[in-house]
Amino acid sequence: MKNRNKLSRSLVKNYIFFSITVGVLVIAFSLLFNFRLIYMLGTDSLSEIQASDIVRPNIVDIPTANIELLEGWVEILDEDLQIIDVKGNKVDSPTVTYTERQLNQLFYDQDDNPYHISLAPFVTNEGQTLYCLIKIPKENLRHSFAITSKAKETTHIFWGVLIETVITFSLLFIVSVYIYSRWTASRITNPLHQIVEGIKHVASGHYSKRIDFKGSYELKQIQEHFNVMADKLEKTEREKRELAESKQRMLVDISHDLKTPITTIQGYVEALQRGLIQDEEKKQNTLNLIHNKARLVTSLIEDVFDLSKLESPDYPFTTEVQDITEFMRELSAHFYMSFEDKQFNFHYEIPASELLVSFNNKLLFRSLSNLLSNALNHNQSGTEVQLKLMEGADHVYIHIADDGIGISEDNRIKVFEAFYRGDQSRKSDGGTGLGLTISKTIIDLHKGLIHLDSSQRNTLFRITLPK
Ligand code: ATP
Ligand code: MG
């Protein structure tokens, strides 16, 4: 939560960054301005004009404007102390060459000297060592501050430097504002652009599009919700397609399963009508076959009808709190004789004490009957069938197991699908393939679970029902 990169926070960060940039530019501006001014004028304070500040490798570049303003001048001496250039108006003795003594004198008698003196050696671009000697009437230096201010205001050097520096920094400022605004905008517009693209995809019915960008917390929230929405839409779309496909498959299965027995009935009836079957016993057998086929058609229609009723959201499903042990005993009794007749070994384990559970008696009976009928119909005599009821903390567990032919791994996932029948069952043309689908739908209505564990010779249906 703490590390959320909020848009507001990131904007604040940007503004701080921008302010720092502006601050740095202003400081750099004033430093550069002063530096350039000092370079052009030789010094920023006339009272401290030193020869070492104004020396330049090119004599022409030596700035003397301030010195001249104070009626001073600059003498350039060569190694032999001969004056080779004078900048400004030299008004003292017309010396052409100094002796060392004369030069030293200038410094020793500083107090008596009417001039401010400063001397500095420097090397020219050509590698020649020269001396720069400044002389300014001390009288004028005393008023230097006033003169300096005046000079700075009026001299065109000042304005030139100022304008140049202002232009340079204006350009720098504009460039930095441009970069900053592009950068800030891109942090918002890039994610927005992706979001718009995502919405366009979804609007055109393509739900596979997901968006992924680096951005602030608020934009990330939009991204997260968009992706969740796209997931849901994609899932719904897939389910819709699967439902349409399964409906289509169901229609094909129903019509096929109805057509086969009806065609057979038609054939037998025609044979009887044309008098092709004369023998009384054969006639009886044919009528029995017609009856069986007609029963199959009826049970298929009934199962389809029941299943669609159970799956309907308006189905009036009701439960009643009752003793499930009693119910299970009734179920066992109902099947006992059938298992005996077909020589199955049928065992049941049901707790002796009362166990109250909320369930729909008729529907649960049907659901479990389908499982027991399967054990009976799909296996050979001698098969052992077990029915078990167990109590858990919040649930009851029902196990229906047999050690018959088992259900192959491939078929295990399909058995709960409508119209699915194992190869053997399909050949024998016995069931409708809706038995387990109806069983599962009923357990679902009870908010329970049904699982199939099966190996080559064992089938175990595990049912969990909430109490
Ligand atoms: P009906 O709709 O009449 O029940 P059915 O029994 O063929 O027809 P389901 O009950 O849905 O349909 O069962 C689907 C298939 O699962 C069966 O055809 C069968 O191949 C297989 N099956 C189910 N239970 C068992 C079992 N106990 N042992 C072996 N195979 C089984
Ligand atoms: Mg069945």
Question: Which residues, other chains included, contact 8 with Cβ-Cβ below 8 Å and sequence gap of 6+?
Answer: none
Phi, psi dihedral angles at 216 (to 5 degrees): -75, 170
Is ligand 1 within 6 A of the CB of residue 459? yes
Per-residue buried b or exposed e for 373-390, using 16+ beta carbons within 10 Å of the residue's own CB:
ebbbebbeeebbbbbbbe
pTM value surpassing 0.75 = no
Ligand nearest to the CA of 450: 1
Ligand nearest to the CA of 436: 1
Atom of ligand 1 nearest to the CA of 402: 27
Hey, whose CA ends up nearest to atom 18 of ligand 1? 421
pLDDT in tens, 319-374: 999 999 999 999 999 999 999 999 999 999 999 999 999 999 999 999 999 999 99
Ligand nearest to the CA of 418: 1
Query: Would you give the distance in Å from CA 176 to the centre of its chain?
Result: 32
Instruction: State the Cα–Cα distance between residues 87 and 61, nearest whole angstrom.
Output: 11
Per-residue pLDDT of the chain (467 residues; tens, 9 = 90+): 445 567 777 777 777 888 888 888 888 887 887 777 666 655 555 556 889 999 999 999 999 888 888 889 999 999 999 999 999 999 888 888 999 888 888 888 777 788 889 999 999 999 999 999 999 998 887 665 555 555 554 566 677 777 888 888 889 888 888 888 888 888 888 899 999 999 999 999 899 999 998 888 888 999 999 999 999 999 999 999 998 998 888 888 888 888 888 999 999 999 999 988 888 999 999 999 999 999 989 988 998 899 989 988 889 999 999 999 999 999 999 999 999 999 999 999 999 999 999 999 999 999 999 999 999 999 999 999 999 999 999 999 999 999 998 888 888 888 998 888 876 555 445 678 889 999 999 999 999 999 998 776 789 999 999 98
Packing angle of the helix pair 7-41, 217-273 (nearest 10 deg): 140
Instruction: State the Cα–Cα distance between residues 387 and 81, nearest whole angstrom.
Output: 127
pLDDT of residue 86: 94
Structure tokens at 242: 């699967």
Is ligand 1 within 6 A of the CB of residue 433? yes
Instruction: State the Cα–Cα distance between residues 84 and 89, nearest whole angstrom.
Output: 14
Is ligand 1 within 6 A of the CB of residue 215? no
Instruction: State the Cα–Cα distance between residues 322 and 362, nearest whole angstrom.
Output: 12
Full DSSP string of 368-420: HHHHHHHHHHSS-TT-EEEEEEEE-SSEEEEEEEE-SS---HHHHTTTTSTT-
CA dihedral 339, 340, 345, 351 (to 10 degrees): 70
Is ligand 1 within 6 A of the CB of residue 227? no
H or E, element range at 295: helix 280-311
Is ligand 1 within 6 A of the CB of residue 286? no
Instruction: State the Cα–Cα distance between residues 408 and 431, nearest whole angstrom.
Output: 19
What is each CA distance from 107 to 50, 116, 135, 425, in whole angstroms?
14, 9, 11, 128
Select from 411, 424, 425, 427 the residue to mutate for testing ligand 1; criterion: most ligand atoms less than 8 Å from CB: 425
Rounded distance from Cα 238 to ligand 1 centre (Å): 28
Q: Report the SS3 class of residue 237.
A: helix
